[in-house]
Amino acid sequence: MSAARVEDGAAVEARVRGAFAAQGLVRLLGAELLAVAPGRVAIGLPFRSEFGQQDGFFHGGILATLGDDAAGFAALSLMPPDHRVLTVEFKINFLAPGLGERAIARGEVVRSGRTLTVARAEVAVVQRGSERPVALLLATMMSLPSAAPP
């Protein structure tokens, strides 16, 4: 963690924004990185009809993707600069139908270890200006040297 500690906030943010922008999926969906701080990341996604499941809400897979990303980039923000993050596993509980104009996933690190990081994310939807939580995610992330094979 010493390497991360000497990085200043701006460097952490630039590093996370770079990894975020490199995701093809982000471009496909149109997700935005709303906020980055050490151990915390927020990601937003405006609703489009193609994100719907059969009932017209945000598909659970989209909410899971956002939550996974928010938790993963929160974990990455505390990893050494020359490392990347892999999701080992996650679990997600859906709390309410994802009906709204916009989804927001907020990820935070629960415990940061040398190899493994435990992180969680809350995914909310905003409907007519009012926000409510729709999913809760708990994940295990792994830190790998950028040069290592996946």
**Which residue ranges make up the site for a copy of itself (CB under 8 A)?**
19-20, 22-25, 27-28, 48-57, 59-62, 64-66, 68-69, 84, 86-97, 99, 110-111, 115-116, 118, 120, 133, 136, 138, 140, 142, 150
**Angle CA 14–18–19, to nearest 5:** 125
Q: Which is nearer to a copy of itself, 2 or 93 (CB)?
A: 93
User: C-beta of 103: minimal distance to a copy of itself in Å?
Assistant: 13
User: C-beta of 139: minimal distance to a copy of itself in Å?
Assistant: 8
In whole angstroms, what separates CA 50 from the centre of its chain?
21
Phi (first) and psi of residue 44, to 5 degrees? -115, 155
Q: 121: Cβ–Cβ under 8 A, 6 or more apart, which residues?
A: 66, 67, 68, 70, 71, 74, 105, 106, 107, 108, 136, 137, 139
User: C-beta of 126: minimal distance to a copy of itself in Å?
Assistant: 18
Q: Which is nearer to a copy of itself, 6 or 104 (CB)?
A: 104
User: C-beta of 3: minimal distance to a copy of itself in Å?
Assistant: 19
Between CA 32 and CA 122 the distance in angstroms is: 16
Strand, coil or helix: 69: helix
Q: Which is nearer to a copy of itself, 4 or 16 (CB)?
A: 16
